[in-house]
Amino acid sequence: MFNAFPRDSMPGGVVLSKTDLGNALRRTTLRGASAILEASPSALLFGAWNSTSGGGDLGAKFTRAIGS
């Protein structure tokens, strides 16, 4: 889910992918990014790509909203 740090995290001792939040993040699309907004608004600001969604290169990609 987006990268190894959140993917391998264990909030409350449960692997993220087994939580409600993990399931919501896995279903995130460009039309429905509320789970990312809730979990990490900065991911939408700086960009994110769900490269581990099972869709490979077809995972949801969020282009950064700001640049330096």
Assess if residue 32 is contained within a domain.
Answer: yes
Amino acid at 40: S
Residue 2 tokens, joined = 């987006």
Any domain includes 68: no
Q: What is the pTM of this model?
A: 0.69
Residue spans of alpha helices (H) in the chain: 4-7, 20-26, 34-39, 41-46
| pLDDT of amino acid 6 | 66
Domain count, the chain: 1
pLDDT of residue 2: 61
β-bridge pairing 61-62 and 48-49: antiparallel
In which domain, by residue range, is 32 found? 4-62
Q: What is the pLDDT of residue 3?
A: 62
The confidence score (pLDDT) of residue 14 equals: 87
Longest dimension (CA), the chain: 37
* pLDDT value, residue 33: 87
Taking the chain (68 residues) in runs of 10, the rounded mean pLDDT of each run is 65 83 84 88 85 64 82
